[in-house]
């Protein structure tokens, strides 16, 4: 089959790889009809290369049609249309019983000290072949795949794989009081959904911050107050001034480790990427530094006693934070990998009607064949051609 493989820094290629097959009784084989490029895929394209090897199949936002199931899978059958969550969970361990699916004890990558295995996401998370491919082997299919109706375009359902529940969790964690103010740093795909979900769940005011014109305009279409940070000298100060002189009730960091404007963090990440993999692994694991411009701005902008919710991916081990200020101001901090299946039962009914309250029809800007995935990665990283979200068709 054809699949997108990692070959090196900023080097991904569509190649022929072996077809997946049933290996365990709880496996399923899914023929992929749509698969998206995630913002966190760009970390693999740039920063996290030391944890990949040439030929690794990328991608963790897939959906498609079930082709085959193992004897332990009774809830699915060939022909079912499913969305595959990015994290792999058994659904029945101690962690899964508590709906902490991103920490599933059955698939935890204990050798690396990490949580549940992920599709297409480095040796840190199990080196499981990903979904930017024509077919995908899905472990623990007795629990993971989300069965969706046969009707409607793929994009109505596709974002259940990652970015929609990730945004939903971020907003739930932010815990904005009814009628309160929520600020969202970063208006990429997750940030767009955070802003829309915030409004849907009762925030009286949602302020979005970014510097890409197309993202700002998309947010405005959905009733968000969109601020261009390139026009602000003091971002936290501007937010505090905008919200009663005290700041937003809650702030979401939907950017993560590769924030713009973090010169020292960027230099550290670049230096790690130039080392041999064995040395780079150790440097990132023990002394990794993120670009913290956005996170620090979020911590300084939120009102006293407010909450900062982090959905952007971070990977540093020695990141300095303003703990004295955080403690003095009583800032609450919530974060973590999304527990996808914890939230999907709340989200699916919102996708089933015709009113589209979360605006899923207004996110994808480019649909491209899998064969053009390398060009799509480059365009997405460089934010060219108005690119906000790319969906690939195998």
Find tokens 């990730």 and name the residue: 166
On whether both 317 and 373 belong to a single domain, the answer is no
On whether both 98 and 227 belong to a single domain, the answer is no
DSSP E strands in 186-310: the ranges are 205-210, 225-228, 250-253, 307-310
* SS3 of residue 161 by DSSP: helix
One digit per residue, pLDDT tens: the chain, 394 residues? 999 999 999 999 999 999 999 999 999 999 999 999 999 999 899 878 889 999 999 999 999 999 999 999 999 999 999 999 999 999 999 999 999 999 999 999 999 999 999 999 999 999 999 999 999 999 999 999 999 999 999 999 999 999 999 999 999 999 999 999 999 999 999 999 999 999 999 999 999 999 999 999 999 999 999 999 999 999 999 999 999 999 999 999 999 886 544 444 444 444 444 444 544 444 344 444 467 899 999 999 999 999 999 998 887 777 889 999 999 999 999 999 999 999 999 999 999 988 999 999 999 999 999 999 999 999 999 999 999 999 999 9
On whether both 314 and 374 belong to a single domain, the answer is no
The pLDDT value recorded for residue 290 is 60
Burial category of 71 from C-beta neighbours within 10 Å (exposed 0-12, middle 13-18, buried 19 and up): exposed
The pLDDT value recorded for residue 256 is 86
The pLDDT value recorded for residue 49 is 85
For 253, other C-beta atoms within 10 Å of its C-beta total: 28
On whether both 158 and 168 belong to a single domain, the answer is no
On whether both 117 and 239 belong to a single domain, the answer is no
On whether both 344 and 231 belong to a single domain, the answer is no
CA distance linking residue 246 with residue 361, whole number of Å:
35
Q: Domain end: 320, 335, 350, which one?
A: 335
On whether both 171 and 83 belong to a single domain, the answer is no
On whether both 102 and 205 belong to a single domain, the answer is no
On whether both 9 and 81 belong to a single domain, the answer is yes
The pLDDT value recorded for residue 48 is 82
Under a CB-based contact definition with an 8 Å cutoff, are residues 376 and 14 in contact? Answer: no
Q: Domain end: 286, 305, 335, which one?
A: 335
The pLDDT value recorded for residue 257 is 80
Domains contained in the chain, number: 2
CATH of the domain at 71: 3.90.180.10
Under a CB-based contact definition with an 8 Å cutoff, are residues 60 and 120 in contact? Answer: yes
On whether both 24 and 146 belong to a single domain, the answer is yes
CB neighbour burial string for 215-226, b if at least 16 within 10 angstroms, e if fewer:
bbebbeebebeb
CATH of the domain at 239: 3.40.50.720
Under a CB-based contact definition with an 8 Å cutoff, are residues 31 and 64 in contact? Answer: yes
Q: What is the DSSP string of 65-115?
A: EEEEE-TT--S--TT-EEE--SB---SSSHHHHTT-GGG-TTT--GGGT--
Helix and strand numbers (H, E) in the chain are 13, 15
On whether both 320 and 174 belong to a single domain, the answer is yes
The pLDDT value recorded for residue 317 is 79
On whether both 110 and 14 belong to a single domain, the answer is yes
Find tokens 């966190």 and name the residue: 40
Q: Structural domain of residue 176, as residue ranges?
A: 164-335
The pLDDT value recorded for residue 371 is 98
Burial category of 264 from C-beta neighbours within 10 Å (exposed 0-12, middle 13-18, buried 19 and up): exposed
The pLDDT value recorded for residue 291 is 78
CA distance linking residue 98 with residue 77, whole number of Å:
27
């Amino acid at each position: 089959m054809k699949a997108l493989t990692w070959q090196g820094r900023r080097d991904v290629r569509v190649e022929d790889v072996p077809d997946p097959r049933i290996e365990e009784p709880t496996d399923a084989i899914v023929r992929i009809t749509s698969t998206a490029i995630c913002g966190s895929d760009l970390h693999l394209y740039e920063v996290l290369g030391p944890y990949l090897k040439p030929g690794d199949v990328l991608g963790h936002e897939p959906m498609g049609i079930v082709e085959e199931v193992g004897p332990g899978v009774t809830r699915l059958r060939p022909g079912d249309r499913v969305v595959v969550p990015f994290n792999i969970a058994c659904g029945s361990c101690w962690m899964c019983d508590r709906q902490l699916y991103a920490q599933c004890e059955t698939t935890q990558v204990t050798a690396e000290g990490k949580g549940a295995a992920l599709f297409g996401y480095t040796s840190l998370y199990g080196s499981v072949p990903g979904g930017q491919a024509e077919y995908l082997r899905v472990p623990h299919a007795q629990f993971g795949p989300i069965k969706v109706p046969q009707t409607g375009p793929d994009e109505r359902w596709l974002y259940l794989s990652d970015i929609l529940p990730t945004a939903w969790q971020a907003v739930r964690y932010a815990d904005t009081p009814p009628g309160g103010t929520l600020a969202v740093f970063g208006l990429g795909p997750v940030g767009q959904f955070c802003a829309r979900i915030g409004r849907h769940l009762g925030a009286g005011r949602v302020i979005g911050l970014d510097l890409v014109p197309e993202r700002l305009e998309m947010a405005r279409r959905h009733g968000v107050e969109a601020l261009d940070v390139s026009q602000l000298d003091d971002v936290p100060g501007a937010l505090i001034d905008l919200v009663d002189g005290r700041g937003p009730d809650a702030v979401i960091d939907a950017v993560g480790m590769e924030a713009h404007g973090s010169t020292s963090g960027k230099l550290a990440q670049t230096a790690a990427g130039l080392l041999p993999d064995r040395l780079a692994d150790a440097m990132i694991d023990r002394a990794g530094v993120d670009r913290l411009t956005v996170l620090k701005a979020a911590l300084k902008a939120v009102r006293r006693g407010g909450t900062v919710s982090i959905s952007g991916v971070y990977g540093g081990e020695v990141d300095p934070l303003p703990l004295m200020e955080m403690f003095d101001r009583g800032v609450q901090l919530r974060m973590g990998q999304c527990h996808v299946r914890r939230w999907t039962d709340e989200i699916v009914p919102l996708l089933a009607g015709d009113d589209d309250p979360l605006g899923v029809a207004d996110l994808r800007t480019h649909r491209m064949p899998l064969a053009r995935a390398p060009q799509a990665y480059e365009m997405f990283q460089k934010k060219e051609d108005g690119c906000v979200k790319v969906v690939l068709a195998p």
